A = this chain, B = another copy of it.
């Protein structure tokens, strides 16, 4: 079975799709974290299968036991909703340079533009209105949804997904202030993106000033994320929406970054660390650490400090009282 769990109950139950536990649909499969929700479904006589981590006695709903129900459900979703496959067609309105190397199996949507020197590997899907700049390369099976802009000298691996509005390869933000104003530092580096990377809608990844901005394999960026010039992000790291990483910062592998977090220029963030939402990371973070707040510090410490801060007006009163007692007893 695709989900990889043990079936308990009606083995003949033919699952024909997926549904949520809030909106059960006959013949579909869902998942539950809390057994109580399954008992409730059973009482309502819902005809659904449920992926769950533990057996429940005395219910008639078919169960699929899986140590990680959410992962099991993910596998079910992947079964019922396979990824899109390239049609191999190039829309007549697309503008593909003669100087681009485009595999015969590539799909290119209406009004997309592929510039000279670009290399588009097999199975790639380029959506309507996308732009792929000079000398950029896109690996096998990668998908650009509509209105993505990949500028020049960007290399993208295999199996990646870019959501609409993503911009890769804009100039890094570099100026030298002088008495005559800001002198623009040309940004002549590249962007190198690994395999199985996803970049959420309207996120931006700048090219390096020199050398490369590097996004490793299996990095997942949510929407409206900013990755500045010369940043390096290690494999498997996930960055939630509206977070921003400043120039030359290095984020390790397997890091989990919540939304709206910010990282100063050049900071180093260790592997498997966790960065809380809205954290302002102004210094290095050691591997495995959980940090939050501005400036970001050890999360346990920050929680204690916040709790103490909320009691601060009371503390002031206590100190006033002590001062009064002492001044009276002097």
CB within 8 Å of B: which residues of A? Answer: 18-20, 22-23, 68, 70-71, 73-75, 77-78, 80-81, 91, 93, 95, 109-111, 113, 127-129, 131, 133, 145-147, 149, 151, 161, 163-165, 167, 170-171, 173-178, 181-186, 188, 196, 198, 200-202, 204, 206, 209-211, 217-218, 220, 222-224, 226, 228, 235-236, 238, 240-242, 244, 246, 254, 259-260, 262, 264, 277-278, 280, 282, 293-295, 297, 301, 304-306, 308-313, 315-316, 318-319, 322-323, 325-326, 330
Contact = CB atoms under 8 A, between A and B. Distances in A.
B294 A278 contact: yes
B224 A226 contact: yes
Contact of A176 (B71, B163, B326): B71
A304 to B, nearest CB: 5
Contacts of A22: 211
Contacts of A309: 305, 309, 312
A280 B128 CA distance: 37
Closest 6 CB pairs of A and B: A149-B164, A167-B201, A170-B201, A131-B146, A95-B110, A163-B170
Given A202-B167, A204-B165, A220 B175 contact: yes
Nearest to A82: B186
A147 B129 contact: yes
B113 A111 contact: yes
Most chain B CB within 10 A, of A91, A146, A181, A201, is at A201
Contact of A95 (B91, B242, B318, B326): B91
Contact of A128 (B113, B202, B235): B113
B178 A71 contact: yes
Contacts of A312: 305, 308-309, 312
Given A200-B204, A262-B259, A176 B68 contact: yes
Nearest to A70: B176
8 contacts: A74-B185, A131-B146, A147-B147, A149-B164, A167-B202, A228-B241, A294-B294, A322-B322
Nearest to A293: B294
A129 to B, nearest CB: 6
Contacts of A170: 145, 163-164, 200-201, 223
Nearest to A196: B181
Contacts of A240: 173, 246
Given A262-B277, A310-B305, A241 B244 contact: yes
Contacts of A95: 91, 93, 110-111, 128
B246 A19 contact: no
Contacts of A91: 95
A298 B204 CA distance: 32
Contact of A319 (B77, B200, B236, B318): B318
A167 B202 CA distance: 8
A93 B110 CA distance: 10
A315 B325 contact: no
A149 B147 contact: yes
A18 B176 contact: no
